[in-house]
Structure 1
């Protein structure tokens, strides 16, 4: 009976240890799984990344959760419903954090893409008439960004102290008397037939079958010095040093992924691989 008791005790110990080992393995698997929130063409990129050899080599199990609205994406990230998000520019991110007092932090850069001025009615910038109706995104960051595009295009002049949080009130001179139609950023392409011109972000333009380089009357300069327009990976502040999340940036900038992005989006997503501290200082 003593021998049987010993065997039973050993069996129990082995079972418990096996269960613990299984729990540890399960826990490790959960740590390696990353839920990333995104939308439009960005979600498409991350769905591709999730299946790549580079992601597998990095030990990443990526799940992409799609949203239709940038505010919802940031809220889901701030609440911990998702681990990280990939959709927004630096100026949009800074505007959101300032307004909502969100505990979010940028951990890596991904790319830069141009906002463009498009028209279904006119073929050249100089053809835009006096009093033309121009659709512009109604969120602060993209309103300011759109106004900068119009200034660079020579259509308006802005006040000297204009910044990423400035509004239509900060236009200093509007010689063509342009009439602005404030529109949700995701709808700027849809209203294009109803206005003379529209300022459209590249992700929205791509979803509408438009290429900023080829189809716009004018678009932002595409270079790595346009800091406010660089897109980011964003997570909760408590995850700012998470090594697993930072692997996402390494995979994004891998040759396999960049070849796909270049081919799929016609050169409108320019890779930017810089430390976040370099563009936020």
Structure 2
């Protein structure tokens, strides 16, 4: 298809009290500080299996889509299982993976496998998918033309400029017959791979959030589903999109992601399982206006896809 800013609700250690001149007060102060620090450490220690509180296990999940309507439903279903889901919102795609790697959250849910592979390789981390969720198509929109065939020679198309979504956008435009990539392109393609002499359009890389606004000036734009819906674009008006059910869409499967040591955590796997209950899935599909495809692949298969993508990225460096 986005340095971490720690979530504001992560407990902070108390300030160290000023030293008293009286020995008795010093001893009492040390005891109080030790007790408080011990309590705080218990609260903060959520990395391995969630924090147990009042008979419930707390699982903190980072996302860039904290306002999505399926979260209250997922939280309600989890509560029935004794799991308290705390949704931790991040402003953009660059923050949720570092927060997970640092142990500030237990899971995250915002990215596809290609994005995760790039992060793991670039940051030398070992975050892994523990369960799949969905694939969302990547569509081409235009406010000037009603079909792909109507787009003229020399037209300019805005595409996301982040590495993973940019490559996917180029593959979409190639599939639509609007441009040609040297050697067919791959999930690491960049504008430099465009065969200009064999292409009908050129591209304008912009921030993913600016692709929808770019429709006012460009001839078309590849717009991620979340930004398209925010901008009020109707998915049915898309001129073209990739097929989310095809094997070529595997790099773009979205997933619950955890640290490698937690990939077998039963509580985390239960949360992922609850995502696929009918109530949650129906809300997810409704939000996407039925453009998304729910995906259920075994964890081992997801990790295998991730490892293949990481190998490709590493070899290209």
**TM-score interval, normalised by the smaller of the two chains:** 0.7 to 0.9
2:72 matches 1:48: yes
Deviation by residue 1:86-115 (Cα, 9 ceiling, x = unmatched)? 111111111222222223111110001100
Match of 2:238 in 1: 216
Match of 1:195 in 2: 218
Confirm or deny: 8 A CA contact 1:129 1:176 kept in the other structure.
no
CA shift, 1:27, in A, is 5.5
Confirm or deny: 8 A CA contact 2:157 2:220 kept in the other structure.
yes
CA shift, 1:216, in A, is 0.7
Gaps of 5+ in 2: 1-41, 43-49, 306-317
2:134 matches 1:111: yes
Provide the rounded CA distance (Å) in 2 between the counterparts of 1:75 and 1:27. 20
Match of 1:76 in 2: 99
CA RMSD of aligned residues (A): 2.4
More helix by percentage: 1
Deviation by residue 1:20-64 (Cα, 9 ceiling, x = unmatched)? xxx9xx962287111111123x65145223442x21222221111
Match of 2:176 in 1: 153
Provide the rounded CA distance (Å) in 1 between the counterparts of 2:114 and 2:67. 20
Does the residue aligned with 1:28 lie in a helix, a strand or coil? Answer: strand
Match of 2:110 in 1: 87
Give the number of the structure whose alpha-carbon radius of gyration is greater.
1
In the superposition, relative to structure 1, how do residues 224 and 216 fare at CA in structure 2: closer, same or farther (>3 Å)? same
In the superposition, relative to structure 1, how do residues 50 and 255 fare at CA in structure 2: closer, same or farther (>3 Å)? closer
2:230 matches 1:207: yes
Q: What TM-score comes out, normalization by structure 2 length? A: 0.74
Provide the rounded CA distance (Å) in 1 between the counterparts of 2:223 and 2:80. 37
Provide the rounded CA distance (Å) in 2 between the counterparts of 1:250 and 1:45. 18
Match of 1:169 in 2: 192
CA shift, 1:181, in A, is 1.2
Provide the rounded CA distance (Å) in 2 between the counterparts of 1:277 and 1:224. 19
Equivalent pairs counted in the alignment come to 255
2:280 to 257, 268, 273: 257
In the superposition, relative to structure 1, how do residues 276 and 190 fare at CA in structure 2: closer, same or farther (>3 Å)? farther
CA shift, 1:170, in A, is 1.9
CA shift, 1:210, in A, is 2.4
In the superposition, relative to structure 1, how do residues 211 and 98 fare at CA in structure 2: closer, same or farther (>3 Å)? farther
Deviation by residue 1:115-162 (Cα, 9 ceiling, x = unmatched)? 001111111111212221211111111111001101110111223363
Match of 2:292 in 1: 269
Match of 2:262 in 1: 239
Task: List aligned pairs for 1:3-152, cutoff 5 A.
Answer: 28-29=52-53, 32-40=57-65, 43-52=67-76, 54-152=77-175
Match of 2:18 in 1: none
Confirm or deny: 8 A CA contact 1:86 1:233 kept in the other structure.
yes
Gaps of 5+ in 1: 1-22
Confirm or deny: 8 A CA contact 1:49 1:252 kept in the other structure.
no
In the superposition, relative to structure 1, how do residues 70 and 258 fare at CA in structure 2: closer, same or farther (>3 Å)? same
Confirm or deny: 8 A CA contact 1:50 1:63 kept in the other structure.
no
Q: What TM-score comes out, normalization by structure 1 length? A: 0.83
